Structure 1
Amino acid sequence: MKNYKKIILAIIIILVLITVGVSTKKSRPTYNDKPISRDEICLGTLCKITVLDKVDEKVLDKAYNKISEIEKEITVNNAKTSEIIELNNAAGKRPVKVSRHTLKILKKGIYYSKLSKGKFDITIGGISKLWSIGTDKEAVPNQDELQDALKRVDYRNLQINEKNNTAMLKKEGAKIDLGGLAKGYIADEVAKVLSNNGAKNAIINLGGNILTMGSNPSKDHWNVQVQNPDDARGNTLGNIKIKNSSNKSVVTSGIYERFFEYKGKRYHHIMNSKTGYPVENELASVTIIADKSSNADGMSNCVFQFGLKDGMKLVKKFSNIEAIFITKDKKIYITDGLKDKFTLTNKKYKLINN
Structure 2
Amino acid sequence: MIKHSKKIIFLLIITVLIVILKFTTSDSSQKQSKEPINLPISKTAFFMGTVIDINIYEPVSDDVFEDVFEILNSIENKMSLNLNDSEITKINANSGSAEVKVSPETFYVINRGKYYSSLSNGVFDISIGPLVKLWDIGSENARVPSQTEIDNTIKKINYKNILLDESNQSVKLKNYDMMLDLGAIAKGYAADEIIKYLESKNISSAIISLGGNIYAMGVKPNSNPWKIGIQNPFSDRGEHLGIIQVKNKSVVTSGIYERYLEKEGIRYHHILNPFTGYPVENSLASVSIISDKSIDGDGLSTSVFSMDVEEGHKLIETLEGVDAIFVTKNNEIFITSGIESNFRITDDNFKLETLKK
Provide Cα deviations, 1:297-348, integer angstroms capped at 9, x if missing partner: 1111111111101010101111211100000011111111211111111111
Q: Using the alignment, how far apart are the partners of 1:100 and 1:319 within structure 2? A: 26
Runs of 4+ with >6 A deviation: none
Provide Cα deviations, 1:2-49, integer angstroms capped at 9, x if missing partner: xxxxxxxxxxxxxxxxxxxxxx965xxxxx954321011111111111
Structure exhibiting the larger radius of gyration computed from Cα positions: 2
Matched, 1:62 2:67: yes
Larger mean CA deviation between 108-117 and 52-61 belongs to 52-61
Paired AA for residue 314 in structure 2: K
Sequence identity (%): 43
Q: Using the alignment, how far apart are the partners of 2:299 and 2:46 within structure 1? A: 23
Q: Using the alignment, how far apart are the partners of 1:78 and 1:182 within structure 2? A: 14
1:37 equivalent among 27, 39, 42: 42
Query: What is the match of residue 77 of structure 1?
Result: 82
Indicate conservation of the 8 Å contact 1:286/1:326, yes or no.
Answer: yes
Query: What is the match of residue 16 of structure 1?
Result: none
Provide Cα deviations, 1:254-288, integer angstroms capped at 9, x if missing partner: 01111111111111111111111111000000000
Provide Cα deviations, 1:113-151, integer angstroms capped at 9, x if missing partner: 000011111111101100000001111112222211111
Does the residue aligned with 2:215 lie in a helix, a strand or coil?
A: strand
Indicate conservation of the 8 Å contact 2:38/2:221, yes or no.
Answer: no
Deviation at 1:198, TM superposition (A): 2.3
Query: What is the match of residue 308 of structure 2?
Result: 307
Provide Cα deviations, 1:188-235, integer angstroms capped at 9, x if missing partner: 011111111221221111112011111211351101011000111111
Deviation at 1:87, TM superposition (A): 0.8
Does the residue aligned with 1:332 lie in a helix, a strand or coil?
A: strand
Following superposition of structure 1 onto structure 2, how do residues 126-165 of structure 1 map, counting pairs within 5 Å?
A: 126-165=130-169
Matched, 1:277 2:278: yes
Following superposition of structure 1 onto structure 2, how do residues 116-127 of structure 1 map, counting pairs within 5 Å?
A: 116-127=120-131
Query: What is the match of residue 286 of structure 1?
Result: 287
Matched, 1:113 2:117: yes
Matched, 1:189 2:193: yes
Deviation at 1:101, TM superposition (A): 1.3
Matched, 1:239 2:240: no
Paired AA for residue 178 in structure 2: A
1:49 equivalent among 54, 57, 75: 54
Indicate conservation of the 8 Å contact 1:203/1:211, yes or no.
Answer: yes
Indicate conservation of the 8 Å contact 2:95/2:173, yes or no.
Answer: yes
Indicate conservation of the 8 Å contact 1:25/1:34, yes or no.
Answer: no
Q: Using the alignment, how far apart are the partners of 1:176 and 1:25 within structure 2? A: 52
Provide Cα deviations, 1:77-130, integer angstroms capped at 9, x if missing partner: 2203x1111111110010112111111110011000000011111111101100
Matched, 1:254 2:255: yes
Specify whether residues 148 and 57 from structure 1 end up closer, same or farther in structure 2 by C-alpha distance, changes over 3 A only: same
Q: Using the alignment, how far apart are the partners of 1:76 and 1:308 within structure 2? A: 31
1:201 equivalent among 197, 200, 205: 205
Indicate conservation of the 8 Å contact 2:81/2:88, yes or no.
Answer: yes
| Number of matched pairs | 322
Paired AA for residue 281 in structure 2: E
Query: What is the match of residue 21 of structure 1?
Result: none
Q: Could you list the runs of 5+ residues in structure 1 that have no partner in the other structure?
A: 1-23, 27-31
Higher helix share: 2
Specify whether residues 98 and 309 from structure 1 end up closer, same or farther in structure 2 by C-alpha distance, changes over 3 A only: same
Query: What is the match of residue 20 of structure 1?
Result: none
Q: Using the alignment, how far apart are the partners of 1:34 and 1:240 within structure 2? A: 21
